Chains A and B, each alone.
Chain A
Amino acid sequence: MSAPVVRRTGLVALVLALAAAPFLVDEYAIQTMSRILVFGLLAMSVNLLTGVTGLPTLGQSAYFGVGAYTAAIVSTSVTDVGIAQLLLAGALTAAVALPTGWVAVRARGVAFLMITLAIGEIAYSAAVRWKDVTRGTDGYSGIPAVVPLPGMPSLQLDGLVYYWVLAVFLVLFVLVRLLVASPFGLALRGIRDNEARMRAIGYPTTGYALAGYCVAGALAGMAGSLYVSVQRFVSPGDAGFEIAALALLAVIIGGVGSMWGACVGAAVVIVTRDYLGGYVAGRAPLLLGILFVAAVYLLPRGIAGVRARWPARERAEARA
């Protein structure tokens, strides 16, 4: 069998397995799988910045948090319709990403990373102090079960919530892949590989980087909105540094630049934290730290085995 056929069969099998999951595993496992899908979207947003545009970030948790709190507030005061929460979260987060991103994209490399780190910390700080809006460290609870589309019943069962998350995940995954292969995506990769050249052929690179930043922000925000549908609770920690670090780790493990790698990396991180972490009595940070160090030394190109991928070569390799 040729490579593309193998890939396509594998893909179909994977989607079928994902679809059949609620019938195969227990409740905790299904909740974890929902969390993996949500985290996968967050990791993809990190990858869009880090792997595709070449801007390493530790601040996506800020936009995840904005999206989560937006969905929480919308669900309790406006509507419990999932799609509305999703779109509102995405829009508001993109609006927040614009001014913050404007500051960040004036820098590159280490300086950019540091600014995004500060953005994440400030989001956490704001979530703690703005008690009127976010209810502070008590966390935002009392979130009603999500109604995916108007007219549908609210999803009380974890398995059904999982299907909603899976559906949104698949749609967003396809859209992100299209974006990356598009002329705009090619431009982002150009900025990553040789920004000076891009400017010399006429690209206003700062503007493109900012646009990419806002798209990544919106994606993280929508992930946050889904998170609220799954957990029915959000607290300042969800906008914090640890989430941002884990998302970056997921991208490293998966292979910087690969979207499906980022999702696999997300699965590894969540399973380590939520399953293995349970076995070592709350010493999850220790395990994660070891995972970080091991990943850097042992998986220099990640699970996907790539550093930076360009669409045409992928297809050329597939045809070969």
Chain B
Amino acid sequence: MTAVLELAQVSRHFGTLRAVSDVTLQVRAGSRHAVIGPNGAGKSTLFALVAGSLRATGGRVLFEGADVTTVPEPRRARAGIAKTFQHSSLFLSATLLENVLLAMQQRAGRSRRLLRPATAHADLVERAHVRLADVGLGDRPLATAGTLSHGERRQLEVAVALATDPRLLLLDEPAAGMSAAETAALTDLVRSLPPSVTVMLIEHDLDVVFELADTVTVLHLGEHLMTGTPEAVRASSEVQTAYLGAADTTELFPGARP
């Protein structure tokens, strides 16, 4: 098994608060690996540790075999890790095209060009248009990002992340606040991604998780609870207890044996 991401006893403390505690995890190349857990389990913190916006206070993070524990975020992004934000983080006063173009030009190494206007780099602009179309926003590239609805902003979020040509894509609650139709479009998009892109995803919508994921990791109170196939997780009584503190979770995990 080639692990594109390996976490070795990774921890993150804020004073005495242990947001993430001694998590050890491997993510297979090409897998669709979901991370679930009750609120406060440390999922977003874990993503931040992988992407580099937070530095681990313990343990090691290895990306494609290389130790990136102390590598700053921009360099990790250039190495192929892309993260979407739990609360959409976009350039709200810019057009959709420019939002994607910023990611695109950096990937193409053209961010230091000084003379031609950014929008005159026709090949980049064309690819940006394609990216926007992929997430269903191709019809109004010149709209201002601030005018988008919540669901549309989540879509743009994904478009920007994909524009960096990542090899590891971290989606932090991508379907949050989306309608059923938007969620379906999102799952189609993730399914259409090539195996060269490994996807990790935090989601509370368990339907999405069980539809997309081939591996599920459960976190609880900052600690790793279990990692396994969706079915194994569904059936695990430990997981059920963690979520509800009780044994009967037939409502939560439809199809599980009680």
Contacts and interface: CB of A to CB of B under 8 A. Distances in A.
Interface stretch (A34-42, A93-101, A184-192): A184-192
A29 B24 CA distance: 74
Interface stretch (A113-121, A195-203, A231-239): A195-203
Given A187-B106, A202-B106, A310-B93, 8 more contacts: A183-B112, A186-B111, A189-B91, A196-B89, A197-B91, A198-B102, A202-B107, A310-B94
B117 interface: yes
B76 to A, nearest CB: 8
A190 B163 CA distance: 15
Interface string B80-95: 0011010001111111
A290 B72 CA distance: 46
A-B pairs, top 9 by smallest CB distance, nearest first, are A202-B77, A181-B117, A202-B78, A186-B118, A201-B103, A183-B118, A316-B142, A193-B91, A183-B113
A145 to B, nearest CB: 34
A182 interface: yes
A194 interface: yes
A205 B74 CA distance: 8
A263 to B, nearest CB: 21
A316 to B, nearest CB: 5
B98 interface: yes
Interface in A154-195: 178-179, 181-187, 189-190, 193-194
B101 interface: yes
A183 B72 CA distance: 23
Interface of A: 178-179, 181-187, 189-190, 193-194, 196-205, 208, 307-308, 310-313, 315-316
Contact of A182 (B95, B113, B142): B113
A201 B36 CA distance: 25
Contact of A185 (B75, B118, B121): B118
Nearest to A205: B74
A280 B218 CA distance: 74
Contact of B144 (A182, A204, A307, A313): A313
B105 A186 contact: yes
Interface residues of B, number: 43
A219 to B, nearest CB: 14
Given A186-B102, A312-B95, A199 B77 contact: yes
A204 B90 CA distance: 17
B201 interface: no
Contacts of A310: 93-95, 98
A182 B107 CA distance: 16
A182 B118 contact: yes
Nearest to A319: B142
Contacts of B74: 199, 202-205
Nearest to A187: B111
B257 interface: no
A240 to B, nearest CB: 32
B243 to A, nearest CB: 30
B142 A183 contact: no
Contact of B98 (A197, A205, A312): A312
A59 B196 CA distance: 49
B199 interface: no
A95 to B, nearest CB: 19
Contacts of A190: 91, 94, 102
Contact of A200 (B73, B111, B114): B73
A203 B112 contact: no
B233 interface: no
Nearest to B101: A186
A287 B38 CA distance: 61
B139 to A, nearest CB: 14
Nearest to B106: A202
Nearest to A198: B102
A197 B89 contact: yes
B27 interface: no
A184 B119 contact: no
B53 interface: yes
B93 A308 contact: yes
B114 to A, nearest CB: 5
A187 B51 CA distance: 20
Which of A183, A202, A313 has the most chain B CB atoms closer than 10 A to its own CB?
A: A183
Contacts of B83: 200
Given A184-B112, A187-B102, A189-B94, A201 B117 contact: no
